[in-house]
């Protein structure tokens, strides 16, 4: 069956109940999934259990995977969810990579110690890439395809595939650098080529296939399967909520979005009122949350460090979006009356501020000028929202390392914020001209434009 594609094998399994076809899929990808699990968990027994979990989920989801789905990418994403769930279940959940970076000194790697430092961070770096970039890296270095094969799978020319892989490696290198691991793109490529996939235990394929064909899965595995599928569904809903929440102007969880004072239309001659004590980390975050609710671009800009060039470019674009949101709200109020309007959505756990509970234990100080605030998450109690803050001249601010959208890529993030600003400015003018008879028309028009208009570079 070596000449049959992954899609052909999965179709045979789902349509003809060909168990041998699914066994071929497992044999083809078991080492890949096991290696990813082992990197993330550093526990061989737990890695085997996660591998079984991933293939059980694949068997259940196989019918929904279309011919354009790159199975390596799907498996890697499922493994990430399963490994994270397993860590929580085993009470060995690691701190988020971003926080760990503050606790560890930067390390310049030699040729002999690349992989020991890279392994715990590789999958987090891959997860930050776009789907196509991640698929390109996985196919090239984890599945051993040449660039022509990578291009063929992704519908690209060989040269385009080469450029995409190079670009993805550079983004991974930048991400790793922020985690304290410094190396060149060439060194990263070499480390991935040599170490990315390790041999799976000889009994693993049989164990996986047995768990699929016989009702003998352990209680632990069953719980892990259910928890992982729930986490994957939650992530899909969260992504959908972010897009729909922006388009429909409702408050949902999403990426932290901020503002720009430079393009604000209100006078900035006098300093804005600051209702919360920004000399404490919690006070600074309370003020930031309030400023976002008020679409106060001056206060939000003041809440971010914005010293690094990339952080500043993202911050300025975000601020432009918030300034546009303020004017959009004013146009809505003038035309349709006062109503709650929230276009730029965020969720860094600020709902905890409204519960009245004592949050003092959510702050961890790295030193006198650096801290991490972990605000509880209602949807994922075991995975609190984490924000890195830095003290600048006595005032606590969002650290450049935690600039919203930084890990998604500077250009893409800034372009998205600019797109949001343009759309809201367009809608503001049309509302003022009386184009819409109801606020519902406004939200539908905004939703359509947001989902149909591409992000300008």
For range 261-278, the mean pLDDT = 49
β-pairing verdict for 370-375 and 363-367: antiparallel
Give the largest CA-CA distance in the chain: 73
Question: Rounded CA gap, 187 and 173, in Å?
Answer: 10
Structure-model confidence comparison of residues 2 and 299, the more confident one = 299
The C-alpha atoms of residue 366 and residue 363 are separated, in whole angstroms, by 10
Q: How far is 153 from 161, CA to CA, in rounded Å?
A: 10
State the chain's mean pLDDT as an integer: 76
Which phi and psi angles does 392 have, rounded to 5°? -125, 115
User: Which residues, including other chains, have CB under 8 Å from residue 74's CB and lie 6 or more apart?
Assistant: 58, 65
| pLDDT for residue 237 | 46
Mean pLDDT of 435-456: 82
In sequence order, what DSSP letters do the residues of 277-310 get, joined into one string?
Answer: -TTSHHHHHHHHHHHHHTT-HHHHHHTB---SHH
If one counts every other C-beta atom within 10 angstroms of the C-beta of residue 160, the result is: 15
Integer-rounded Cα radius of gyration of the chain:
24
Cα–chain center distance at 427: 29
- The predicted pLDDT at position 178 comes to 78
- pLDDT tens-digit series, residues 42-58: 888 788 888 888 888 89
HSE (CB half, 13 Å, CA atoms) of 226? 8
What pLDDT is attached to residue 167? 86
Nearest to 329 by CA among 369, 374, 359, 294: 294
Q: Is 331 exposed, middle or buried (0-12, 13-18, 19+ CB in 10 A)?
A: buried
Instruction: State the CB neighbour count (10 A cutoff) for residue 365.
Output: 12
Residue 396 confidence (pLDDT): 93
Which tens digits make up the pLDDT trace of 328-337?
999 999 998 8
422 within 8 A of 322, measured Cβ to Cβ: no
- Give me 320's structure tokens: 């432009």
> What are the structure tokens assigned to 75, written together?
């498996």
Q: With contact defined as beta carbons under 8 Å apart, do 332 and 439 qualify? A: yes
**What 8-state DSSP symbol labels residue 390?**
E
**Segment 450-455 mean pLDDT:** 73
Q: Is 398 helix (H, G, I), strand (E, B) or coil?
A: strand
d(CA 12, CA 18): 6
Nearest residue to 404 via CA among 413, 391, 396: 413
The 3-state DSSP class for residue 385 equals strand
pLDDT tens, position by position, 228-252 = 666 665 555 444 444 444 443 333 3
Q: Which residue has the tokens 């569904």?
A: 233
d(CA 372, CA 401): 11
- What was the pLDDT predicted at 220? 56
Considering only CA atoms, which of 299, 429, 307, 282 is closest in space to residue 362? 282
Question: Residue 56, SS3?
Answer: helix
Pairing of strands 181-182, 385-392: unpaired
Round to whole Å and give the CA distance between 264 and 44. 55
Confidence of residue 85 (pLDDT cuts 50, 70, 90): confident
What's the CA gap between 374 and 91, in Å, rounded? 18
Phi/psi at 69 (5° precision): -75, 125
Asked if residues 411 and 384 have their Cβ atoms less than 8 Å apart, the reply is no
Could you give the 3-state DSSP secondary structure of residue 366?
strand
Q: Are 451 and 423 in contact (CB under 8 A)?
A: no
Residue 280 pLDDT class (50, 70, 90 cuts): very high
> Using CA atoms, how far apart are residues 250 and 428, in angstroms rounded to an integer?
17
* pLDDT the model gives residue 391: 92
Pairing of β 107-108 and β 181-182 = parallel
């Amino acid at each position: 069956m070596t000449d049959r594609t992954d899609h052909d094998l999965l179709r045979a399994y789902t349509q003809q109940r060909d168990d041998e076809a699914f066994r071929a899929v497992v044999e083809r990808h078991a080492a890949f999934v096991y290696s990813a699990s082992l990197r993330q968990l550093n526990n061989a027994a737990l890695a085997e259990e996660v591998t079984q979990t991933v293939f059980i989920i694949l068997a259940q989801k196989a019918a929904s995977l279309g011919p354009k789905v790159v199975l390596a990418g799907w498996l890697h994403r499922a493994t990430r969810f399963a490994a994270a769930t397993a860590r929580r279940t085993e009470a060995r959940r690691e701190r988020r990579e971003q926080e760990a970076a503050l606790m560890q000194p930067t390390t310049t790697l030699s040729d002999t110690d690349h992989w020991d430092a890279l392994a715990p961070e590789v999958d987090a770096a891959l997860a930050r890439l776009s789907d196509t970039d991640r698929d390109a890296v996985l196919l090239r270095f984890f599945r051993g395809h040449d660039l022509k094969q990578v291009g063929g799978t992704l519908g690209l020319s060989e040269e385009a595939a080469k450029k995409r892989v190079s670009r993805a490696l550079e983004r991974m290198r930048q991400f790793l650098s922020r985690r304290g691991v410094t190396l060149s793109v060439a060194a990263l490529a070499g480390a991935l080529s040599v170490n990315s996939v390790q041999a799976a235990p000889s009994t693993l394929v049989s164990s996986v296939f047995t768990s699929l064909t016989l009702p003998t899965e352990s209680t632990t595995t069953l719980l892990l399967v259910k928890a992982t599928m729930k986490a994957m569904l939650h992530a899909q809903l969260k992504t959908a909520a972010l897009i729909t929440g922006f388009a429909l102007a409702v408050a949902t969880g999403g990426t932290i979005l901020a503002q720009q004072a430079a393009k604000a239309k209100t006078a900035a001659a006098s300093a804005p009122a600051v209702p919360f004590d920004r000399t404490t980390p919690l006070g600074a975050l309370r003020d930031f949350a309030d400023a976002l609710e008020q679409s106060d671009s001056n206060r939000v800009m003041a809440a971010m460090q914005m010293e690094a060039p990339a952080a500043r470019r993202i911050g300025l674009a975000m601020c432009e979006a918030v300034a546009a949101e303020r004017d959009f709200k004013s146009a809505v109020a003038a035309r349709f009356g006062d109503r709650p309007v929230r276009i730029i959505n965020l969720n860094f756990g600020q709902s905890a501020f409204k519960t009245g509970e004592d949050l003092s234990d959510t702050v961890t100080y790295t030193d006198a000028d650096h801290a991490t605030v972990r605000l509880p998450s209602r949807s994922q109690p075991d995975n609190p929202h984490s924000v890195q803050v830095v003290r600048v001249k006595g005032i606590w601010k969002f650290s450049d390392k935690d600039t919203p959208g930084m890990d998604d890529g500077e250009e893409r993030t800034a372009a998205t914020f600019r797109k949001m600003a343009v759309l809201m400015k367009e809608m503001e003018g049309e509302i003022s001209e009386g184009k819409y008879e109801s606020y519902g028309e406004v939200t539908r028009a905004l939703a359509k434009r947001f989902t149909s208009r591409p992000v300008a570079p």
